[in-house]
Structure 1
Amino acid sequence: MRSEHCVTRNHIQVFHNRVLPSGPQRIRFRTLVYGSMLPLIVWAGIAGFLGYFFDPIAPMVLCGLFVTWIALGFTLRRRRKHSVRCSLYGAFGAVLAGSLDGF
């Protein structure tokens, strides 16, 4: 598999198996987001609930945690010599996949 095809595929297969191409092809960011709709909807609902019933600072803290974990995942993947595209997609996908493990 070429380096530009190196992205996290497992979390997309968990939620939307038909989203992925059949073989190792370049995955666009739109496909990554479409495959991650369930975690995005769940966390948007939680952020909306926190913002409505509690202080508006609560969703900002939640978003800050996500940004921190994505930045950490990106950095760790870049240190393992992944491409920028692979690191960004992998970090984004891994955070969304890992965030629903508790549910």
Structure 2
Amino acid sequence: MTDEHCVTRDHIELWNKRVLPDGLASVGLGTVLRGSMLPIVVWLGVAAFVYFIYNPVVAAVEGGLFLAFSLLGFTLRRRSGHSAKCSLYGAIGGVLDKSMAGI
């Protein structure tokens, strides 16, 4: 898969569809993060809640889960032939997307 066709609307589904241009276009990491504001706020909100209410260790475990899922997504994308850039964006976008599956 070539770099110019890897990071496209079809490859990374974002929560806020308005941040993507019409048609296929390369998407930067800033666009992925801007389009994923709801999942980012939820991840950070839960981390802040458990940090202050329970224990900082619980917040570290949540951060570790995010990192583990991101690394797993990155590895799976690299094995399927995607570029490193595409794999990084897809892994972060994928974790943020799948974490909001019930909302």
TM-score by length of 2: 0.89
More helix per residue: 1
Percent identity for Structure 1 against Structure 2: 47
Q: Is the 8 A contact 1:5 1:27 kept in 2?
A: no
Match 1:9 to one of 8, 12, 21? 12
Task: Name the residue aligned to 1:22.
Answer: 22
Matched, 1:59 2:59: yes
Large movers: runs of 4+ above 2 Å: 1-5
Task: Name the residue aligned to 1:76.
Answer: 76
Matched, 1:46 2:46: yes
Alignment of 1:80-91 (within 5 A): 80-91=80-91
Deviation at 1:5, TM superposition (A): 3.5
Deviation at 1:4, TM superposition (A): 3.1
Alignment length (residue pairs): 100
Gaps of 5+ in 1: none
Indicate the RMSD between aligned Cα atoms, in angstroms: 1.4
Mapped partners of 2:32, 2:79: distance in 1 = 22
